[in-house]
Amino acid sequence: MADDKDLSYWPQTATGRVDLIGKVGAIILVIFGVVEYFDRKDETRVSRTQELMKEYATGPLRDAQNVINSTILDHLASIEAIRAVQWDADAAATAHADIVQFLVWDSRDADGLVREIDDLLEFYERVTICVETRLCDREVARAYFTTDADWLFENFRPYILQRRENAPGFATISERLIDI
């Protein structure tokens, strides 16, 4: 009696059984399709992020990073000498702004580093938008770009603040990359 109850869902006729198997098969196919869809979407996200990583590690953006680093290293002795002094908060801020002023506007035969910094900021903005619209992978972007973006903002903040005096929105999207 109990056995009859347990199998009550099982169709008694052959047509019913075929129908049930068909429905179960359809459900499995749908689940498989959804999983596959999200897998593909994740893959596309990661590969799109990888394209950005490649762009960042080669060509003009790599050159920009190299120029910024080599210019700082060129003047590292003076920078370190300034940093070594125990300044009070105001003097430390003035000293930092002075170093940034020199590097960004005066160094390299007055070419400075404006173009290089702006190129990187513009790129970080693209990465941020890509992640925020879920077209790029957040974890990969965070692991690869956040440290560099944080470094650029921390070191060149006086320049960024200076630009924001005229354009308040300057690099605000790029800055979100730090906490993405």
Partner 1 sequence: MRFIARVLVFAIIGTPTLSQNMATCPSCAQELSLSLDEWTCLSRNLDLYARVSTDPILVSLAGCATVTEALKRDRNNNPRITVDPAAEDAAARPQYIPAFRLTKSQISCLTQQIEIILTEPPDIFRFETGCGAP
Of 50 and 155, nearer to partner 1 (C-beta) is: 155
How long a stretch of residues is the chain?
180
**Residues contacting residue 35 through CB under 8 Å, at least 6 positions apart:** none
Which one of residues 19, 39, 106, 139 is an interface residue with partner 1 (CB under 8 A)?
Answer: 106
Stretch that binds partner 1, among 27-35, 54-62, 93-101, 136-144 (CB under 8 A): 93-101
Judged by CB under 8 A, does residue 15 bind partner 1? Answer: no
Footprint of partner 1 on residues 115-144 (CB under 8 A)? none
CA distances (Å), origin 1, targets 10, 11, 12, 21, 92: 15, 17, 16, 25, 88
Stretch that binds partner 1, among 23-31, 44-52, 71-79, 134-142 (CB under 8 A): 71-79
- Measure the CA dihedral 127/130/132/134, to 10°: -140
Which one of residues 3, 110, 133, 169 is an interface residue with partner 1 (CB under 8 A)?
Answer: 110
CA distances (Å), origin 141, targets 58, 132, 136, 179: 17, 11, 7, 11
Stretch that binds partner 1, among 76-84, 116-124, 137-145, 171-179 (CB under 8 A): 76-84
